Amino acid sequence: MQMETPTPAGKNFIRRATFAEIDGILAVQRAAPECAQWTRADYEEVLATSAILTVPEPQSFSPRHVVLCALQGDTVVGFAVGSRLRFAETVDCELENMAVLPTHRRCGVGRDMVQALLVWSREQGGPQRAMQLMLEARASNTAALELYHKMGFLPVGRRREYYSQPTDDAILMAWFPAAKQPQNGEPHF
């Protein structure tokens, strides 16, 4: 994992977030009521557990969480949070939260962050283990569902009235390696 140098993904500048980006992430989140409204403490917690561990068990080489931010200059224009849920014969990862500033949508920022999370998820398993990246989204969230569909996620379930305020079903989607493979030589996150 190369953490020190920010790495461009596609045409958008995406790298791991640090504690310095929490204010910017919260600003993006406030502008996106469709995404999960996490607190500063939530981000501090996931960033704290995204540090690279040095214990020599294979499952400890990779961080438990990743927080990505998309930058334009010093401004955070998007963020995405991924988590590794299970480390066994398959590695299950989850896209936990994501948003792009309304002024920067439809420019490929969401697409590039999902692509970066796919690369990260694949790295969680290494060459030996299959991975899958799962997520859930409101049934009414056309933008998110279209994005995930375009990126190769497949619908795998529906939870009735899972969301409140307003009440909405959750669509569960998963990306499987057989569906679409990230290309070799992509940046690591």
Ligand X SMILES: CC(C)(COP(=O)(O)OP(=O)(O)OC[C@H]1O[C@@H](n2cnc3c(N)ncnc32)[C@H](O)[C@@H]1OP(=O)(O)O)[C@@H](O)C(=O)NCCC(=O)NCCS
The residue length of the chain stands at 189
Contact letters for ligand X, residues 31-50 (x by CB under 6 A): -x-xx---------------
Q: Indicate the Cα dihedral angle 152, 141, 17, 39, nearest 10°.
A: -140
Contact letters for ligand X, residues 53-92 (x by CB under 6 A): ----------------------------------------
Q: Which two tokens stand for residue 153?
A: 């996620």
What DSSP designation does 2 have? -
Torsions phi, psi for 17 (to 5 deg): -80, 155
Q: Of the candidates 143, 154, 156, 179, which one interacts with ligand X according to CB under 6 A? A: 143
Give the binding-site size for ligand X (rule: CB under 6 A): 21
- Check binding of 142 to ligand X (CB under 6 A): yes
CB of 179 to ligand X, least distance (A): 16
Q: Which two tokens stand for residue 125?
A: 């398993």
- Check binding of 27 to ligand X (CB under 6 A): no
- As a whole number of angstroms, the distance between CA 59 and CA 169 comes to 34
Give residues in contact with ligand X (CB under 6 A): 32, 34-35, 98-100, 105-111, 137, 141-144, 146-147, 150
